[in-house]
Amino acid sequence: MTYEEILINELGQNENLLVLTAENRAAIRNIPNLKPERFFDFGIAEQTMIGAAAGLALRGKLPVAHALASFLTMRAFEFIRTDIGIPNLPVKIVGSFAGLLSEANGPTHQAIEDISLMRGIPNMNVICPSDAEDLAICLPVILKSDSPYYIRFTNLQSSIKHNPVFTPGKAESILEDGYDVTILTYGCLLKEAVIAAEILQSENISVGLINLRTLKPIDSEKILEVCKSSSLIVTLEDHFRVGGLYSILCELLISEQMMANILPIAFDNKWFKPALLSDVLIFEEMDGKSIARKIKHSLSKSRIFLNQFNT
């Protein structure tokens, strides 16, 4: 089922569920006609949509609020933090065209700090499904949660078969036993990570691959396990290096007084080249081949380092 089909299905089952948007209807094009009494469009007014979502939640409703991720998480940030976060209301906010999915829109539309912003809000949970199938697996669970959620929306086609069981705070392990390298990732880059893993495996490098699903709560147990068993950990994300998965991993390792050899692949203090997704991936060296190349380079460096260390 598509995201919209699941929402329509849930609207039928839960009379408190409402669909809100700040004139961002791409994912919910049929709902205004099919469920007009459960649909509210606030126009291009993200702040008022979020405040109103809080008001509706005060009355016992469960609003699912849609907007472009950059305007949702930044224009309306203080409304999310103050009106959803402080009272811990069960509003689900859905940011579309996040990360690389803004493609050729340019930096105004690049939500590559959204995870950093949302995870910094007490009570807020963050989920970044890798593709439409992954989202469809996670969505019903999230809609039943009493907590606020930021959903980093995607409608990309899946390239792998996902684990049909989703638990918040539990990562999806796609490849186990990455003694040489384990890739931690989320969102649209999972597809590229799969390609990179195939290349590396063909060169007899053992690769682990983990699709994190929720970034908050984070699957600390799984991450610490692979940090102990893998020579190299890669954090692969379409987000600024600051505040996203790389930061989460660093925070986790320090709190556990652990060390790991980490290769972060993210946007380091810069916005990405606006273009169609397949071209951006190559330009920004985030396509499967480039990822594999970076990992091999890093592995060779770390072997030199480890050899020096051991002698």
Partner 1 sequence: MDYKSLENISLAVREHIIRMATNGGCFIGASLSCVDILVYLYKNFLNVTKENLSSLERDYLFLSKGHDVPALYGLFAEIEFLDKDRLSNHLKTNDDIYWHPNRKIPGIEFHSGSLGHLLSVGIGVALDCKMSNQKNKIVVILGDGELNEGSVWEGLLIASAYKLDNLMIIVDRNQFQANERTELLIPLEPLEKKFEAFGFCVKSCNGHDFSEIDEALKDFPFEKGFPSILIADTIRGKGLPSIEEKADRWFCNFTRQEIDNLLLELHGKHITDLNSEKIIAR
Where along the sequence are the contacts to partner 1 (CB under 8 A)? Answer: 37, 40, 42-43, 45, 47-61, 63, 78-79, 82-83, 86-87
Q: Are strands 62-68 and 125-127 parallel, antiparallel or unpaired?
A: unpaired
DSSP track, 30-92: THHHH-GGGEEE--S-HHHHHHHHHHHHHTT-EEEEEEEHHIIIIITHHHIIIIIITTT---E
Of the pair 14, 159, the CB lying nearest partner 1 is at 14
Smallest separation, CB 89 to partner 1 (Å): 10
Of the pair 65, 226, the CB lying nearest partner 1 is at 65
Smallest separation, CB 3 to partner 1 (Å): 23
Of the pair 15, 221, the CB lying nearest partner 1 is at 15
The token duo for 273 is: 């080249």
Smallest separation, CB 52 to partner 1 (Å): 4
Of the pair 87, 107, the CB lying nearest partner 1 is at 87
Smallest separation, CB 49 to partner 1 (Å): 8
The token duo for 147 is: 């907590």
Smallest separation, CB 304 to partner 1 (Å): 53
Of the pair 82, 220, the CB lying nearest partner 1 is at 82
Of the pair 56, 193, the CB lying nearest partner 1 is at 56
285: nearest Cα among 165, 221, 192, 148: 192
Smallest separation, CB 70 to partner 1 (Å): 18
181: nearest Cα among 235, 217, 219, 142: 235
Please give the Cα distance from 143 to 163 (Å, whole number): 19
3-state secondary structure of 120: coil
Please say whether the dihedral angle defined by the alpha carbons of residues 276, 241, 143 and 61, taken in this order, is positive or negative.
negative
Smallest separation, CB 93 to partner 1 (Å): 14
21: nearest Cα among 88, 105, 94: 94
Angle at 174 between CA 248 and CA 231, to 5 degrees: 60
Q: Do 126 and 115 form a contact (C-beta atoms < 8 A)?
A: yes
Please give the Cα distance from 60 to 17 (Å, whole number): 9
